[in-house]
Structure 1
Amino acid sequence: MDVGGPIISVMQDTITSDARLVLDLALTIRHDGHGGVADDLTDPAGLTAWVRARPDALRDTAGYAADEAALTAVRDLRAAIRALFARAVRPAAPSPADAARLLPVPEALERLNAAAARTPTVPELHWAEDAEPVVRHRAAQGGGDLGAAIAHAAIAFLGGPERQRLRSCHAPRCVRYFLKEHPRQEWCKPSCGNRARVARHHERHRASA
């Protein structure tokens, strides 16, 4: 399914940029603050706002306006990415937000690769002083859509070394994925760590009562 709106391509500066974009999409499913799960992409306006808020990761965002086809395509792609995130964090448990309804991995891979194939790419050689030559791929002139751009970022992230830092936060009520920044990090943010420690304290207290 083609995605509406102007052609958008991912900036290819760093893998970190790809990781941030793909994580941001996964995190549009989040804890709602009241014990449930919220979805930021329930209508085209939500997708439009999400795209326009990321001019550093996506090009030509200022005039972007999503339609129903774009929304469906990105939501389908998000489901595939979250299924592959769940695989990446094994043997740890996936995010509880959708752990019971994840796509099978082969279907997730097929969906991701099909989205990426909608943009033809061309190789570019980059060769900085005192460095080995690097081949990067960019969208061919006149090709591509939002879903393809996100899929390219997801493939770069999942196929690269940053994937090994991906974790699912299992603090009470949290449903986020995050990139582990240091060896002792267990939670996506300090507030989640605080909640987890309080929960452990109460559990130990109940067990000893």
Structure 2
Amino acid sequence: MTQRPVTELANTIRLGGDGGVLDELGTVGATGRWIRRQAGNVGGIGELVVDEEVRQAVLVVRGAARSLFARAVDPAPPSPVDAHRLMPAGEALAALNDASARELVAPQLRWPTEGPPSATLSSAEADPRVRLIAALARDAVDFLSGPQREHLRACHAPRCARYFVRSHGRQGWCTPACGNRARVARHYERAREAAANGSAPPAF
């Protein structure tokens, strides 16, 4: 399943093998590379020059999105990577709405002679910085107010801190690799418990 911009953004931080936090937006250069990879999903940002101001604005939207993702998966636990420092929900809502309002857009109807009508958003905004931040925020608003929110989950496999949209009812991890790691971790945990109790280790 193709990830939408808000889930791509939310998942730019993760846990490393040593338990530390890895951040794809940790520097201006890294943020620029991530934004260039999103150019196909976020229109009108081809001429964007990324600096620290842009990076900080993107981080605000990411922080707001992850805070509201944590609220969306409640009462299940949120991603462990930032559960201890989430933005308060009211602050996250305000930040997301403020970012979304940076760009004034209007729906435009398109109706080709062959095919059904469709609506697109039109804007006269020329600043690619404004377009980027507003587009990321609007995607978050659209996602969190839509039906996919009900399928949002936090992956709790070892060393994973991603959020994902569940594609089927039994999906418990973001990828098969995370599912394998979780099963291996459970097996070794049961083996340690069995050894401590003097019983036979469980079969894998």
Shift of 1:195: 1.2
User: Where in structure 1 are there 5+ consecutive unaligned residues?
Assistant: 1-15
Q: Which has the larger radius of gyration?
A: 2
Which amino acid counterpart does residue 23 of structure 1 have in structure 2? T
Percent of pairs with identical residues: 48
Report the secondary structure of 1:92's partner residue. Answer: coil
Runs of 4+ in structure 1 off by over 4 angstroms are 126-131, 133-136
Aligned counterpart in structure 1 of residue 74 of structure 2, from 90, 103, 106: 90
Higher relative contact order (CA 8 A, sep 6+): 1
RMSD: 2.2
Partners of 1:105 and 1:67 lie apart in 2 by 28
Count of residue pairs the alignment pairs up = 192
Alpha carbons of 1:145 and 1:62: their partners in 2 closer, same or farther (altered >3 Å)? closer
Query: 1:64 Cα shift?
Result: 2.4
Say if 2:25 is the partner of 1:41. Answer: yes
Q: Quote the residue 1:194 is aligned against.
A: 180
Q: What is the TM-score with the length of structure 1 in the denominator?
A: 0.82
Q: Match of 1:171?
A: 157
Contact 1:51 1:64 in 2 (8 A): no
Distance 1:137 1:59 in 2: 11
How far off is 1:31 after superposition? 2.3
Residue 126 of structure 1 deviates from its aligned partner by 5.0
Which residue matches 2:62? 78
TM-score (norm 2): 0.84
CA displacement 1:27-54 (0-9 Å, x = unmatched) = 1111223322111112221111111112
| Rounded Cα–Cα distance in structure 2 between residues aligned with 1:54 and 1:130 | 28
Question: Which residue of structure 1 lines up, in the alignment, with residue 8 of structure 2?
Answer: 24
**Matched residues in 1 for 2:44 and 2:124: separation?**
15
Partner deviation per Cα, 1:11-33 (whole Å, 9 max, x = no partner): xxxxx97x611111111111223
Q: Map 1:1-209 to 2 at 5 A.
A: 20-126=4-110, 136-142=120-126, 144-208=130-194, 209=197
CA distance in 2, matches of 1:140, 1:157: 24
Amino acid of the residue matched to residue 65 of structure 2?
I
